[in-house]
Amino acid sequence: MDKIAIVEFFRKYRDFFICVFLLGIPFLFLHSNLKNPTTYNSLDRVVLKISTPVQYITSMVARVVYDLWGSYIYLVDVKEENEFLKMENQRLRKASQNALQLQIENAQLRSMLDFKESSGFKMIAAQVIGKNTSSYFRVMRITVAAGSSSIKPGMAVVTSEGLVGQIDEVWERYSDVLLAVDPKSSIDIYIKRNKSRGILKGTGDSSRYQCKIEYLLKSDEVKVGDLVVTSGMDRRFPEGIEVGRISKLRKRDFGLFQEAWVQPSVDFSRVKDVFVIVKQE
């Protein structure tokens, strides 16, 4: 009965004894490490012999954990900083693009105003609101804020870069512009360098904006790069409006005329604002 009672006693208080033992070991290690070495006894030496490797391993594990945790915190901070810098970079890039776009638009507006003041023409400003650029039709639709009643079919449409085309149809505040590159367009022009005359017509090329000069005499001395301007002889386009430059020439062995292709001065894909010439001063 005594053995059974002892077993039952230890079973009942097993958890208590385990806790006391586990709590006592660190206390014993601490007590032995804090004692004066001259007062060590045999038990203290055994405890120190056991605790020294344990302390070393514990210290190394703690150092590794500390380093890993520090590296993790550092990486988290770096990631957050990178995200912030990335967002700031995107913001600055967008602001730079907006500033550049604004600068370009201001330069274009200044160029348009300077052109209007120096052109000698009475003009009405209009805004491009649509385009039809199939191989059969090269038409641009414009709207006028004021003075739309003065606009009539056949009037020249220009920008500061040069000739755009002519008014084709008009209704209320809206007008369709037949571009100079349209196959139906026909404009009397001359080469500014030597006054060689011809008729400018659109090629109808769907892949690019291009014109061709017809009835240009083979005997006329024309060079690639020559400037082409309106002659004013057709009474629709005032004389001297820049049209483009000769980009290609071809002379055949037969016939009276040579072939000349013209690259327009106006970039039709980027035109946003134009002027309609309603009267030549």
The owner of tokens 């009965």 is 1
Quote the tokens at residue 118: 């120096």
More confident residue, 64 or 255: 255
Which of these ranges, 16-20, 22-26, 250-254, 277-281, has the smallest mean pLDDT?
22-26
Most confident by average pLDDT, 5-19, 29-43, 180-194: 180-194
Domains of the chain: 2-64 (no CATH), 120-280 (2.40.10.350)
Reported as a single tens digit per residue, the pLDDT across 105-164 is: 777 777 777 777 777 788 888 888 887 755 555 678 888 866 667 888 999 999 989 999
| Spatial contact of 165 and 178, defined as CB atoms under 8 Å apart | yes
Name beta bridge partners: 177: 140, 167
pTM for this one?
0.61
pLDDT digits (tens, 9 = 90+) for 203-217: 877 778 889 999 999
- In sequence order, the β-bridge partners of residue 242 are 229
Distance CA 232, CA 254 (A): 30
CB-neighbour burial class of residue 131 (10 A; exposed 0-12, middle 13-18, buried 19+):
middle
Of 13-22, 97-106, 194-203, 250-259, the poorest mean pLDDT is in 13-22
Which position has the token pair 């030496």?
45
Show the beta-strand stretches assigned E in 144-196: 156-158, 163-171, 174-179, 186-191
